[in-house]
Amino acid sequence: MLKLGSRNLVSLRDLLVKKLSLHNNRGLSTSHTASRYRLKDKVALITGAATGIGKATASEFISNGAKVVIADIQSKLGQATTSELGPNATFISCDVTQESDVAAAVDFTVAQYGHLDIMFNNVGISGFTPFSIVDLNLKDFDLVINTNVRGVIAGIKHASRVMIPQRSGSILCTASVAGVIGGLAPATYSISKFAIIGTVKSVAAELSRYGIRVNCISPFVTATAFVLEEMAMMFPGVEASRLVQIAHSVGKFEGANCETLDIAKAALYLGSDDAKYVSGHNLVVDGGFSSFKSLDFAAPDQVAN
């Protein structure tokens, strides 16, 4: 057995402390630099990025060093957003219900920047369908499914087509807390979001062998134009500012509300190398809303016999 005197032990300890300190300092320096540009040299394609969550995510990605292609059916808004976000944003018109449009958006991205690292299938519609299944028009149902589910699958398919040869990539999809528990939205919308979560888990199983990660994000109620339009139909004549207050009032987390930036930061994490071993995951951003249900017992004198 090797014997060391007390002086040698002190010297060895000092050496180890010094090396550990140098290692930690280098690690902190690298981490700090990387944290400033977590998507440096990455290329992202985001559908439904002219407004709302998509726009916030595009801005966050660009701030972190990415080049972003904004794909949206709203051409004027999309072009305005592109101009607002600057030279690292590019726009292409895209209707996700048309597979050829989705394929063209992917091909455009690769032609423009040489590769595709992040595909964010964010576009979605509510369809303004009724809460009662009895009143549901199946043509309206088909429209929602074609956009929210088929459009997402088209995005995954064509992103995979270019990511598999490069054996890397991150595919993200916007689901919803309404796809985690029932009763929060009309059945059509909820069904479409439940389907997205299932799609992500199914496709992640295949694409993991190619180094491609597939995840989704389930936001809580966020006061976007998308949500406020739906709420305006529920509460006709109510001012937009009041609708925002109503939207925020349903949360259970004290002191904060779910905002588009929260979802953008979740997408940033999942799209970055920080999440290099995260796949098949549904990241729920709801302040814990879907994690618990309180038992509000009535007082004995308030319970009917």
In the beta sheet, which residues pair with residue 68?
A: 44, 89
CA angle 63, 66, 68 (to 5 degrees): 105
3-state secondary structure of 181: coil
Q: Residue 34 corresponds to which tokens in the numbers above?
A: 């990387």
For residues 70 and 91, is the Cβ–Cβ distance under 8 A?
Answer: yes
* Strand ranges across the sheet with 282-285: 89-93, 67-72, 43-47, 118-121, 169-174, 212-219, 282-285
List C-alpha distances in Å: 180 to 93, 247, 263, 283.
31, 18, 16, 11
Q: Is the pTM of this model over 0.95?
A: no
The string of DSSP letters for 156-185 reads HHHHHHHHHHHT-EEEEEE--GGGTSTTSS
Beta bridge partners of 151: none
Q: Which domains does the chain have, with CATH numbers?
A: 39-220+258-285 (3.40.50.720), 223-256 (no CATH)
State the DSSP code for 150.
I
Amino acid at 88: N
- Closest alpha carbon to 91 in 132, 54, 64: 54
Q: Which residues are catalytic?
A: 189
Tell me which residue of 108, 123, 152, 114 sits closest to 57, measured CA to CA: 123
Residues 6 or more apart in contact with residue 98 via CB below 8 angstroms: none
The predicted-structure confidence for 248-302, as pLDDT tens digits, reads as follows 888 888 999 999 999 999 999 999 999 999 999 999 999 999 998 877 788 888 8
Each residue's pLDDT tens digit in the chain (305 positions)?
Answer: 444 444 444 444 454 334 434 444 434 344 444 557 999 999 999 999 999 999 999 999 999 999 999 999 999 999 999 999 999 999 999 999 999 999 999 999 999 999 999 999 999 998 889 889 999 999 999 999 999 999 999 999 999 999 999 999 999 999 999 999 998 899 999 999 999 999 999 999 999 999 999 999 999 988 787 788 877 877 888 888 888 888 888 888 899 999 999 999 999 999 999 999 999 999 999 999 999 887 778 888 888 76
What digits encode the pLDDT tens for the residues 51-80?
999 999 999 999 999 999 999 999 999 999
